[in-house]
């Protein structure tokens, strides 16, 4: 899992001493695929999963110091990028279909995975100390993201997408990577764009894919350096904000995604009765936590950071 020590210089030195193996490369492909799925799955955030998988700090360090050590960073992120593209392209249609019919069960698997990493995130957030400011940042961020997601769950308006609108959607997706806890898919649902996005990606509609990618690139260029500076100067506050957004976004998913799927209308759509539906939610959550713990053990054994 994620281990951060020292300043950005230490991080750069860490990336330079990574020893690659075929297994560590494959692990990052899998991480990338899960991050890609998280980026398009309502209620989740690609940024949260990047934090969970220990990718986020390396990304911020790379973008904040670009183009220093470009080749080493490129080789590190290549399998992550390949996995992310595969995850988005191969699972966009599946995610859209599963979210429509089995949203509570499908999302519970991911939330269980995230929940299994919270102790590690808590430890990482306190590496440089944990005081009053850290706790305030954590609670404030958790409440803010919880309220934001609860408010933004309903589709209040519908926008007819065009090239510029899709770029704006890409900026939201990019912010989901730069700002862990921010779930772009929730806002795309809010504007009536989510199903059109998932359909466009699954059908390889480049009139959707290209402006989305441009928007992601714009968001990364515009905000990565700022975030990198904030991490260097305010590590405790920034990491507790991230931990708060992880907790707040995870909690918000239960009333916004899981609970509606257990109502009469949700059960009718899934074809399940209440007890089996609830049992599957619990089982998927537990499976997610177990998978998280097992994945952590595999990663510790084959980690290239050692």
What does the domain layout of the chain look like in residue ranges?
Answer: 8-302
pLDDT, residue 89, reads 80
Nearest to 270 by CA among 150, 99, 116: 99
Residue 101: both structure tokens together: 């019919």
Q: Can you give the pLDDT at residue 40? A: 74
Please compute Rg for the chain using Cα positions.
Answer: 19
Regions of the chain short of the pLDDT cut 70: 1-19, 42-45, 93, 95-100, 152-158, 180-183, 185-187, 189-190, 192, 298-306
Q: How far is it, in rounded angstroms, from Cα 140 to Cα 135?
A: 8
User: Closest Cα partner for 41 from 106, 117, 115, 114?
Assistant: 106
pLDDT of residue 12: 47
Encode 131-157: b = buried (16+ Cβ within 10 Å), e = exposed.
eeebeebbeebbeebbebbeebbeeee
């Amino acid at each position: 899992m994620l281990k951060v020590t020292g300043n950005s210089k230490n991080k750069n030195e860490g990336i330079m001493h990574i020893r690659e193996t075929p297994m560590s490369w494959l692990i990052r492909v899998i991480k990338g695929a899960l991050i890609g799925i998280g980026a398009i799955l309502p209620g989740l955030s690609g940024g949260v999963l990047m934090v969970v998988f220990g990718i986020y700090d390396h990304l911020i360090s790379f973008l904040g110091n670009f183009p220093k050590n470009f080749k080493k960073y490129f080789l590190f992120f290549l399998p992550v990028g390949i996995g992310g593209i595969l995850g988005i392209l191969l699972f966009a249609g599946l995610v859209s279909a599963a979210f429509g019919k089995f949203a509570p069960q499908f999302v519970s698997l991911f939330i269980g995975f995230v929940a299994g990493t919270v102790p590690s995130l808590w430890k990482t957030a306190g590496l440089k100390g944990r005081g009053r400011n850290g706790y305030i940042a954590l609670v404030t961020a958790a409440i803010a993201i919880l309220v934001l997601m609860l408010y933004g769950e309903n589709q209040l308006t519908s926008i007819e997408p065009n090239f510029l609108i899709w770029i704006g959607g890409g900026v939201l997706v990019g912010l989901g990577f730069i700002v862990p806890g921010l779930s772009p898919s929730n806002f795309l649902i809010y504007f009536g764009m989510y199903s059109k996005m998932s359909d466009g990606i699954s059908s390889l509609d480049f009139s959707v894919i290209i402006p989305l990618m441009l928007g992601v690139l714009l968001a990364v260029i515009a905000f990565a350096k700022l975030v990198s500076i904030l991490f260097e100067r305010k590590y405790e506050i920034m990491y507790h904000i991230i931990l708060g957004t992880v907790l707040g976004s995870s909690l918000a998913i239960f009333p916004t995604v899981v609970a509606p799927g257990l109502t009469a209308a949700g059960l009718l759509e899934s074809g399940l009765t209440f007890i089996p539906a609830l049992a599957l939610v619990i089982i998927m959550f537990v499976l997610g936590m177990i998978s998280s713990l097992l994945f952590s053990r595999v990663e510790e054994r084959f980690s290239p950071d050692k």
